Amino acid sequence: MTATVATAKRRRIMAGMRASGKLHVGHWLGALQNFVALAESNDCFYEIADLHALTTNFARSKEIADSVHDIALGWLAAGLDPQRCTMFIQSRVPEISELSVLLSMITPVSWLERVPTYKDQIAALGPEIATHGFLGYPVLQTVDIIAFKGQGVPVGQDQLPHLELCREIVRRFNHLYGDVLTEPEAVLSNFPAVPGLDGRKMSKSYDNSILLSDTEAETTAKVKEMYTDPSKIRKSDPGHPEICPVFFFQEIFNPGNASDIAHRCRAGQLGCVEDKADMAVHLNAALTPLRQRRRELEAKPDYVREVLEDGTRRAREVAARTLTEVRAAIGLTY
């Protein structure tokens, strides 16, 4: 079952981001704005998933702490209010690790091997990432949700198979040990994949991102290099804005002029150099308040640390209650 963000009733929402790199505009548009909106009317738990980062970045583990810090700054700068949601660091909630061991005992390996991204990622990143932890990450992901009795999980269509696996694990546990765990539902986010500088999905692994920590000048320089419609070489060539990532951003950040831009692009009256410069101005204008808040937060490291410590303390209280229930249901009570 799914619900749209607009129709969702107040409930426990669980979401997170992997601490494997810096936040970029794709995170902001595709997830973070939704996080902020959901926190207005739900009880939200937002996890900085550093253990998940280890599944693929175990050889570069020293980078994870910087990523955790960048995510915390990015979340707060984008408007997440620590009074309205619980932000925490995954590995600082050890109950998650114990719950993961317990759920791994009942999760068939065949369920994990059939996760679509499992083989794709090994093909993309190499056989060295095929570790026990990488195979088992859907179990850890399930625990991220059930530890906090998450009822709703904001996901895109492409993540539905992962959530379905989580639901299967929950059903198996409840069948074996009683009705203890909550089966989460998808809260579908309709936002399309945000294109990166090269036209593929914006992603750290493709090195095609505009970072939330980039300066105005860095952002403008990146937009200048952005991929456009390859058939539009000269200004007078008719373009196809519907396949152009620059136009994707114009529609979001310059909506009042988007139809005129599309018309002039198609009619050969607008050149890509001019359009990119215009788009960069509008994108920078939208990012200016985030950059300002980020600078303020960077000057208050104690505040950021306290937000995470306080959130992690609250998260642990909830996860500890779940762990007690799970241990009792299994019979691990001495």
For the bound state, the minimum distance from the C-beta of residue 247 to ligand SF4, rounded and expressed in Å, comes to 4
What angle do helix axes 301-330 and 94-104 make, rounded to 10 degrees?
Answer: 30
Q: Which two tokens stand for residue 87?
A: 């932000």
Decide: is 329 part of the binding site for ligand SF4 (CB under 6 A).
no
Contact 88, 314 (CB under 8 A): yes
Residue with tokens 């902001």: 28
Q: Which is nearer to ligand SF4, 201 or 327 (by Cβ)?
A: 201
- Residues 111 to 130: which contact ligand SF4 by CB under 6 A? none
What are 292's two structure tokens?
């300002």
Query: 258 exposed, middle or buried (CB, 10 Å; 0-12, 13-18, 19+)?
Result: middle
30 versus 199: smaller Cβ distance to ligand SF4: 199
What 8-state DSSP symbol labels residue 258? H
Which among 13-21, 112-120, 129-137, 272-280 is the span making contact with ligand SF4, rule CB under 6 A? 272-280
Query: Any alpha helices (H) in the chain, and if so which ranges?
Result: 25-27, 33-41, 50-57, 64-77, 94-104, 109-113, 116-125, 132-135, 137-146, 160-177, 216-224, 245-253, 255-266, 272-298, 301-330
Number of residues in contact with ligand SF4, rule: CB under 6 A? Answer: 13
Q: Are 177 and 327 in contact (CB under 8 A)?
A: no
Q: Does 248 bind ligand SF4 (CB under 6 A)?
A: no
- Pick from 15, 64, 246, 329 the residue near ligand SF4 by CB under 6 A: 246
Q: Does the protein bind ligand SF4 through residue 280 (CB under 6 A)?
A: no
Q: In terms of CB distance, is 77 or 272 closer to ligand SF4?
A: 272
Question: Does 136 sit near ligand SF4 (CB under 6 A)?
Answer: no
Would you say the C-alpha torsion 173, 118, 149, 1 has a positive or negative sign?
A: negative
CB nearer to ligand SF4: give 168 or 198: 198
Among 96, 145, 186, 270, binds ligand SF4 (CB under 6 A): 270
Residue 229 CA neighbour count, 13 Å, CB half: 23
**Smallest separation (angstroms) from ligand SF4 to the CB of 205:** 25
CB 173: neighbour CB atoms within 10 A?
Answer: 24
Is 136 or 239 the residue whose CB approaches ligand SF4 more closely?
239
Task: For residue 73, state whether it binds ligand SF4 (rule: CB under 6 A).
Answer: no
For 247, residues 6+ apart whose C-beta sits below 8 A from its C-beta are: 241, 258, 261, 262, 265, 275
**Distances in Å between the alpha carbon of 49 and those of 68, 69, 145?**
8, 12, 12
Site string for ligand SF4, 221-240 (x = CB under 6 A): -------xx--x------x-
Q: Indicate the residue among 86 and 254 with the shorter CB distance to ligand SF4.
A: 254
Window contacting ligand SF4 (CB under 6 A); options: 132-140, 152-160, 244-252, 317-325 = 244-252
* Under rule CB under 6 A, residue 275 binds ligand SF4: yes
Q: Is 241 a binder of ligand SF4 (CB under 6 A)? A: yes
Q: In whole angstroms, how far apart are CA 137 and each of 88, 192, 290?
A: 19, 25, 32
Burial of 42 by CB count in 10 Å (0-12 exposed, 13-18 middle, 19+ buried)?
Answer: buried
Q: Is residue 103 at the binding interface for ligand SF4, with CB under 6 A as the rule?
A: no
195 binds ligand SF4 (CB under 6 A): no
Closer residue to ligand SF4 (CB): 10 or 224: 224
> Considering beta carbons, is residue 193 or 243 the nearer one to ligand SF4?
243
Q: Which residues bind ligand SF4 (CB under 6 A)?
A: 228-229, 232, 239, 241, 244, 246-247, 265, 270, 272, 275-276
